[in-house]
């Protein structure tokens, strides 16, 4: 069986060999990094050295890195934990502001907070390319700044690749002392990400998007920001996230982050070239396909370099995905976390697209294993697959 053409790196990207080597060295060691004996201390040293590596790569202090099981846990810890802490300090702080295009790892815990009767969640509008309306954010805050507990705006969108104006968000919130959380899962390794320079108060990252293992991530959070823990137990990770630390996974996570950040500029340039080739080829094969998100005139500054999101009129995205899959080409209809659920993309709907357009879309995401041959294989297959999905000749 031939190797599949993998174009779903935004869902997860294959582990890089150097990370596998790091993890393999540590997998045979049986030690709890919270133990006081020699083996425990060795494991603790690995964890703390990994924390320092992550901090150096992300532009933060080691003590600001709270290790988690991945991005979903980190997002939940940020939005719930900071909200609860802010609400406890001042009962007037009941509002949480976010965008309508966030990942479900942010939207769903916020919905849960609202359903419990505590939080008032406001989904701020975005423009036709999925970019936050900063004026709407400003107006919402100025309406009653003392009632806002938290603002959460992702660094870059996981479906259409739109980069959000995080610096503008910080500029609007800072005068009011409102903490900002950003999900930077898609940005790390493909865009410059510097926690201290960004001005945000909390930031989510994860390992499996940058060639590291599943099950390892972090919430980077300023020491002065109070966070109520979701999990109680041994008091690990500043008493914010209890639980025995996975030393091999953390070492692999740190190695992946370090490598991804070091190669970021060159990687982004290569991905942008492949993206241009992919878009040109697919639009030549299917002229009425529609590129969603920032286009060529702005995508260098406003879009993730490895993201291509296209709508194919007359097709069901799920059906087209499966037709491509039979040809060995793997892609996505959007977030892998909601894959298999036959519903329109909430991101495209928020961008003003109709339900039919939102259901006719596919995401092709490039990564470190992607090649021109992969792109050319998609271009060769997409026309016949769209023709079959539509049931009529193009």
Rg (CA), the chain: 21
Q: Mapping DSSP to helix (H, G, I), strand (E, B) and coil, where does residue 226 land?
A: coil
Q: Measuring CA to CA, which residue among 217, 170, 177, 176 is closest to residue 197? A: 170
Cα gap 298→300, rounded to integer Å? 6
CA angle 339, 340, 344 (to 5 degrees): 75
Say if CB 341 and CB 385 are below 8 A apart.
no
Catalytic position from the list 60, 315, 331, 337 = 337
Q: In a 3-state reduction of DSSP, which class is residue 252?
A: helix
Total Cβ atoms within 10 A of residue 123: 16
Q: Which residue has the tokens 């008091």?
A: 235
**Closest-CA residue to 183 (of 175, 193, 173):** 193
What is the distance between the alpha carbons of residues 123 and 102, in angstroms, rounded to a whole number?
A: 9
Q: Give the neighbor-by-neighbor strand order of the sheet with 290-291.
A: 290-291, 307-311, 361-365
Q: Is 57 helix (H, G, I), strand (E, B) or coil?
A: helix
Question: Do 358 and 288 touch, CB atoms closer than 8 A?
Answer: no
Q: Is 337 a catalytic residue?
A: yes
Q: Look up residue 75 and give its two tokens.
A: 């997002």
- Closest by Cα among 107, 137, 157, 189 to 293: 157
CA distance 284 to 87: 54
Catalytic residues, which ones? 337
């Amino acid at each position: 069986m031939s190797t599949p053409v993998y174009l779903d790196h935004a869902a997860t990207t294959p582990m890089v060999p150097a990370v596998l080597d790091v993890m393999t060295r540590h997998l045979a060691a049986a030690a709890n990094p919270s133990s006081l004996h020699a083996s425990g201390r060795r494991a603790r040293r690995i964890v703390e050295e990994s924390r320092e590596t992550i901090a150096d790569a992300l532009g933060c202090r080691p003590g600001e890195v709270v290790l988690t099981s991945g991005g979903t846990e980190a997002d939940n810890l940020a939005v719930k934990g900071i909200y609860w802490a802010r609400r406890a300090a001042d009962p007037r702080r009941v509002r949480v502001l976010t965008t309508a295009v966030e990942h479900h790892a942010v939207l769903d815990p916020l919905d849960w907070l609202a359903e419990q009767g505590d939080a008032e969640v406001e989904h701020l509008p975005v423009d036709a390319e999925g970019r936050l309306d900063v004026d709407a954010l400003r107006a919402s805050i100025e309406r009653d700044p003392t009632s806002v507990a938290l603002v959460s705006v992702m660094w870059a969108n996981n479906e259409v690749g739109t980069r959000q104006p995080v610096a503008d968000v910080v500029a609007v919130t800072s005068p009011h002392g409102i903490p900002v959380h950003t999900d930077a899962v898609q940005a790390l390794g493909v865009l410059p990400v510097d926690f201290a320079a960004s001005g945000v108060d909390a930031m989510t990252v994860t390992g499996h998007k940058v060639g590291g293992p599943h099950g390892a991530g972090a919430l980077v959070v300023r020491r002065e920001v109070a966070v109520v823990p979701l999990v109680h137990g041994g008091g690990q990770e500043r008493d914010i996230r209890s639980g025995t630390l996975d030393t091999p996974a953390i070492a692999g996570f740190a190695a992946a982050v370090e490598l991804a950040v070091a190669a970021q500029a060159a990687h982004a340039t290569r991905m942008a070239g492949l993206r241009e080739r992919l878009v040109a080829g697919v639009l030549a094969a299917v002229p009425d396909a529609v590129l969603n998100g920032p286009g060529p005139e702005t995508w260098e500054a406003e879009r993730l370099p490895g993201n291509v999101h296209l709508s194919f009129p007359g097709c069901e995205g799920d059906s087209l995905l499966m037709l491509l899959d039979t040809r060995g080409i793997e892609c996505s209809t959007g977030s892998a976390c909601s894959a298999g659920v036959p519903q329109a993309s909430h991101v495209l709907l928020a961008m003003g697209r109709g339900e039919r357009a939102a259901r006719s879309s596919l995401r092709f995401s490039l990564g470190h294993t992607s090649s021109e041959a992969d792109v050319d294989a998609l271009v060769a297959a997409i026309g016949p697959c769209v023709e079959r999905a539509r049931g009529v000749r193009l």
